[in-house]
Amino acid sequence: MATSAIPLTLVLILCFFFFFSFTQSTPQLLGKYANKPRNLSSSSYKYETRYFTQRLDHFSFHEYGSFSQRYLINTRNWVAKGPIFMYCGNEGDIEWFATNSGFLWELAPRFGAMLLFPEHRYYGESMPYGSKEEAYKNNTTLAFLTAEQAIADYAVLLKELKHNLSAEGCPVVLFGGSYGGMLAAWMRLKYPHLTIGAVASSAPILQFEDIVPPETFYNIVSNDFRRESTTCFNKIKESWGALQSMGENADGLMQLAKTFHICGELKSSDDLSDWLSSAYSYLAMVNYPYPSDFLMPLPGHPIKEVCKRIDSAADGTSVLDRIFHGVSVYYNYTGAVDCFKMDDDPHGMSGWQWQACTEMVMPMTSDPDKSMFPSFKFNYTYEQERCMRSYGVKPRGRWITTEFGGRDFKTTWKNSGSNIIFANGLLDPWSGGSVLQNVSETLIALNTEEGAHHLDLRASTANDPEWLIQQRTSEIRLIEVWINDYNQGRGSALSM
Ligand SMILES: *[C@@H]1O[C@H](CO)[C@@H](O)[C@H](O)[C@H]1NC(C)=O
Ligand SMILES: *[C@@H]1O[C@H](CO)[C@@H](O)[C@H](O)[C@H]1NC(C)=O
Ligand SMILES: *[C@@H]1O[C@H](CO)[C@@H](O)[C@H](O)[C@H]1NC(C)=O
Ligand SMILES: *[C@@H]1O[C@H](CO)[C@@H](O)[C@H](O)[C@H]1NC(C)=O
Ligand SMILES: *[C@@H]1O[C@H](CO)[C@@H](O)[C@H](O)[C@H]1NC(C)=O
Ligand SMILES: *[C@@H]1O[C@H](CO)[C@@H](O)[C@H](O)[C@H]1NC(C)=O
Ligand SMILES: *[C@@H]1O[C@H](CO)[C@@H](O)[C@H](O)[C@H]1NC(C)=O
């Protein structure tokens, strides 16, 4: 299912209409897009690329060796004693995140800040064992791919870089979007002595165990479609049954391949269902108010466009034809795609799959009363068996909350945490797993009704709506407060 946006993801078997089975994949944050090769040479963001030798295992004294971690640095605006703004790299090439986080680049001159973008281990060029092939070989080589190790990499890098630059006193503000936002928030909670605050944008740090209802993700995606048009929502809901029954025989599969302009043969209608449902989930994530090219080239308000095509087809157009026209907005907006590949890299293992099979166990369910997706339930036993079969590992579904907390966060983080902004756009399906309420004076939720996946971290544009400008302004004010508080605290400590 790799083209289906979410490569070889948690494929769940579910019962659909009582006798057919249906597969459904759990969305994986940025999914395959995190690994997409990109042309960055036209980028206007200038940075120096450096490499730093990191210990492979921070948490034991056994010598497992080291690897070379890539980081990008820009000191052009950095003033004496100025802050360090560090973006916590997430599951992909760090250059992609650096060039899609224009907000930081705009802040640097204003704050006299250094920008630092360390890459997450096992992604991009930061491969242990010398190559991706070796690093991804088996469960022994992958064992060091965890969020805790990645955060420790960032901490070690920060300490040493500050030492090298005699910048020990410079305050560090963390940033991150999506999984990077989770890392930023967790790092702030775990390393409060190294950082003064964190901006965690679209970070679903509560999407674990049963802290939030497991159906929240698909309900939000579904509501994003329903708010544009009820008929569109209903057509999508209707389409799964039509797809499933056509997929039951070879003729039907051929017909489906034709209707959906699929390259080559369609092996099962499940592949097509996955491909469609990932398009809907990703559309909800990048439902930005202006044209963008983060995951795919898309018009502004892309869900509105999809629904327009589904709704405006001539009377008598079949439901599947309507769906094809709708989803073409996502997969073929440029009109340059000859045919759709359901499956461009079926065996390629992505790092996120490993992470989802170990610590990042995010239970998701589709509730047929509220969602436009087929009904399914998260089955932890099934997941364990699948991960054991695929990678010889057993997920530890309770580990993340043991390590970082999350349950009862309103009391626990209120007491132990400070200076974190949880920024969310409520159209983003991941917002359901994030912190949407103010927890304390310094653990702040900044929500926008019309925002999507970490829109605030993107560069400003002439088309920015007022609510987005306001969200960014609030973030800037809070960062100013953190830095001023830090400098005042330091001032009084020094004068003692
Ligand atoms: C990348 O973009 C630059 C500038 O837009 C262009 O000159 C170059 O040919 C592109 N490279 C590839 C491989 O597409
Ligand atoms: C994993 O691969 C490494 C390197 O090829 C090998 O030494 C190790 O025994 C393998 N481990 C497992 C569990 O297969
Ligand atoms: C700090 O300096 C040492 C010695 O020059 C160098 O080996 C190391 O890579 C530097 N660390 C960082 C994080 O740049
Ligand atoms: C993509 O769009 C173009 C222009 O509308 C069309 O000619 C082409 O057939 C479409 N590709 C697919 C795979 O549907
Ligand atoms: C969950 O999966 C296991 C293993 O595949 C299966 O035996 C069990 O019946 C499933 N439970 C439900 C409620 O579907
Ligand atoms: C690694 O996978 C093998 C099977 O491929 C399994 O026997 C072994 O227990 C796994 N090791 C770990 C540490 O999970
Ligand atoms: C949290 O507090 C800030 C003021 O510090 C306010 O702007 C914001 O709207 C509050 N967030 C929520 C979700 O109420």
Q: Are 73 and 91 in contact (CB under 8 A)?
A: no
Question: Could you tell me whether strands 197-201 and 420-425 are parallel, antiparallel, or unpaired per DSSP bridges?
Answer: parallel
Q: Are 56 and 144 in contact (CB under 8 A)?
A: yes
Where does ligand 1 bind, in terms of residues with CB under 6 Å?
39, 41-42
Q: Which ligand number lies closest to the CA of residue 384? A: 5
**Residue 392 Cα to ligand 6 middle (Å):** 4
Where residue 130 falls (left for φ over 0; alpha for ψ -120 to 50; beta otherwise) is left
Catalytic residue set: 178, 428, 453
Determine whether the shortest distance from the Cβ of 317 to ligand 4 is under 6 A.
no
Residue identifier of the C-alpha nearest atom 13 of ligand 3 = 161
The pLDDT value given to residue 39: 59
Pocket residue to mutate for ligand 2, from 134, 140, 145, most atoms within 8 A of Cβ: 140
Determine whether the shortest distance from the Cβ of 332 to ligand 4 is under 6 A.
yes
Question: Rounded to an integer, what distance in angstroms lies between the CA atom of residue 246 and that of residue 254?
Answer: 9
Q: Which ligand number lies closest to the CA of residue 134? A: 2
Q: Where are the alpha helices (DSSP H) in 165-268?
A: 179-190, 216-226, 230-246, 250-259
Determine whether the shortest distance from the Cβ of 335 to ligand 4 is under 6 A.
yes
Instruction: Give the number of other Cβ atoms within 10 Å of residue 117's Cβ.
Output: 26
Going by the DSSP 8-state scheme, the letter that residue 227 receives in this structure is: T
Determine whether the shortest distance from the Cβ of 140 to ligand 2 is under 6 A.
yes
CA nearest 482: which of 87, 111, 102?
111
Residue identifier of the C-alpha nearest atom 1 of ligand 1 = 39
**Residue 79 Cα to ligand 2 middle (Å):** 48
Question: Rounded to an integer, what distance in angstroms lies between the CA atom of residue 376 and that of residue 380?
Answer: 13
CA distances from 251 to 19, 129, 383 (A): 21, 48, 33
The pLDDT value given to residue 314: 95
Say which residues have a Cβ less than 8 Å from residue 219's Cβ, sequence separation at least 6: 367, 370, 371, 432
**Residue 339 Cα to ligand 1 middle (Å):** 24
**Residue 139 Cα to ligand 6 middle (Å):** 6
The pLDDT value given to residue 8: 24
Q: Does the pTM of the predicted model rise above 0.75?
A: yes
Residue identifier of the C-alpha nearest atom 4 of ligand 5 = 382
The pLDDT value given to residue 27: 66
Question: Could you tell me whether strands 48-55 and 66-74 are parallel, antiparallel, or unpaired per DSSP bridges?
Answer: antiparallel
**Residue 1 Cα to ligand 1 middle (Å):** 29
Q: Which residues pair with 117 in a beta bridge?
A: 72
Question: Rounded to an integer, what distance in angstroms lies between the CA atom of residue 316 and that of residue 27?
Answer: 33
How many Cα atoms are found within 13 Å in the side-chain-facing hemisphere of 204? 29
Identity of the residue numbered 213 = P
The pLDDT value given to residue 28: 72
Pocket residue to mutate for ligand 2, from 138, 144, 393, most atoms within 8 A of Cβ: 138
**What are the pLDDT tens digits along the chain (496 aa)?**
232 333 222 222 222 222 223 344 566 777 767 666 665 555 679 999 999 999 999 999 999 999 999 999 999 999 999 999 999 999 999 999 999 999 999 999 999 999 999 999 999 999 999 999 999 999 999 999 999 999 999 999 999 999 999 999 999 999 999 999 999 999 999 999 999 999 999 999 999 999 999 999 999 999 999 999 999 999 999 999 999 999 999 999 999 999 999 999 999 999 999 999 999 999 999 999 999 988 889 999 999 999 999 999 999 999 999 999 999 999 999 999 999 998 655 445 689 999 999 999 999 999 999 999 999 899 999 999 999 998 999 999 999 999 999 999 999 999 999 999 999 999 999 999 999 999 999 999 999 999 999 999 999 999 899 999 999 999 999 999 999 999 998 766 655 4
Residue identifier of the C-alpha nearest atom 5 of ligand 5 = 382
Q: Are 174 and 86 in contact (CB under 8 A)?
A: yes
3-class secondary structure, 93: coil
Q: Are 221 and 295 in contact (CB under 8 A)?
A: no
Question: Rounded to an integer, what distance in angstroms lies between the CA atom of residue 202 and that of residue 206?
Answer: 11
Residue 335 CA: nearest ligand 4 atom is: 2
Residue identifier of the C-alpha nearest atom 8 of ligand 3 = 52
Pocket residue to mutate for ligand 4, from 332, 338, 340, most atoms within 8 A of Cβ: 332
Question: Rounded to an integer, what distance in angstroms lies between the CA atom of residue 445 and that of residue 212?
Answer: 16
Determine whether the shortest distance from the Cβ of 339 to ligand 4 is under 6 A.
yes
The pLDDT value given to residue 7: 27
Q: Are 98 and 87 in contact (CB under 8 A)?
A: yes
Identity of the residue numbered 384 = Q
Q: Which ligand number lies closest to the CA of residue 51? A: 3
Segment (H or E) for 52: strand 48-55
Pocket residue to mutate for ligand 1, from 40, 41, 45, 99, most atoms within 8 A of Cβ: 41
The pLDDT value given to residue 42: 54
Q: Which residues pair with 418 in a beta bridge?
A: none
3-class secondary structure, 114: strand
Question: Rounded to an integer, what distance in angstroms lies between the CA atom of residue 208 and that of residue 398?
Answer: 8
**Residue 272 Cα to ligand 4 middle (Å):** 17
Q: Where are the alpha helices (DSSP H) in 165-228?
A: 179-190, 216-226
Say which residues have a Cβ less than 8 Å from residue 2's Cβ, sequence separation at least 6: 8, 32, 343, 344, 345, 346, 348
Angle between helices 230-246 and 302-312 (to 10 degrees): 70
